[in-house]
Amino acid sequence: MNKHTKDQSFAGLTDKFAKNIYATAKGQIRLAVLARDLAPLYQQSTPLRVLDIGAGIGQFSQNFARHGHHVTHTDIADDMVLAAQERHQHEGLSSHYSYHCASLQKLPELLQGQQFDVVLCHAVLEWLAEPADALPLLKRFLKPQGKLSLMFYNRDAKLMANMVFGNFDYVEADLQVKKRVRMSPQQPIAPAAMDLWLKEHKLAVLQRTGVRCFHDYLRDPEQGKQHFDQLLRLELQYNQQPPFAALGRYQHWQITHADD
């Protein structure tokens, strides 16, 4: 890791984030995959306590709020939290939320030992200077039978995509560039490394899903827009099957405490 790397926030980028991430085919695929994977949790009739870390503008957690669960929404950027509050108020969901503006590292002190049935941590770790250090923090928030929904940027898929598109120099440079693009994750994580971190902290993977197993390898991205419904059906059909799941630009893993 570059010693000068720091945790990154999207403060001041709320509109750009919403436009670049969710108002696109890739963002729609992300939300659809998460909705399919986590439906057995948010469709439960028993009220759950949910912690959403790095929750941004709070789009995905609305699935839990609409089913009567309570969501603790946290993000390091105050403008993201404000935008989420406005969004949830507009949707009539505010009563199901509490909000905190804080980094992941500050949450143990802020939440004072609280534990949750479900912890959502989507596209957060790859923006941290030390992503491995997040795992013991996330574990602290999980009830004994709780579920962690962890989505992280897949280094293996990034390497594969750059080879497909002929960026050989970039791959030989170990995916390092002199000038970092702010909206590009700074610490892509190899699934093999994540497996080691989880084992170290006695966490076990229940389900592995690839997010955008096909979309990011299309020779003509316009085909993905023109045939989006068909593309999404195929993503959902294959994204939990090997070898396709491992090719997802993001990995979505459902995790719980490992048996001793």
Query: Residues annotated as binding site?
Result: 30, 54-55, 75, 122
Q: Which helix (H) or strand (E) holds 46?
A: none
Q: Is the dihedral of CA 213, 219, 225, 228 positive or negative?
A: negative
Q: In the structure encoding, which two tokens stand for residue 133, read together? A: 């250090």
For strands 250-257 and 203-211, give the pairing.
Answer: antiparallel
> What CA–CA distance (Å, rounded) separates 215 from 222?
10
> What CA–CA distance (Å, rounded) separates 73 from 93?
12
Closest CA to 231 of 39, 22, 33: 33
- Annotated binding-site members for S-adenosyl-L-methionine: 30, 54-55, 75, 122
Q: Is the dihedral of CA 231, 233, 234, 239 positive or negative?
A: positive
> What CA–CA distance (Å, rounded) separates 62 from 38?
12
Angle, CA of 78, 80 and 81, to the nearest 5°: 65
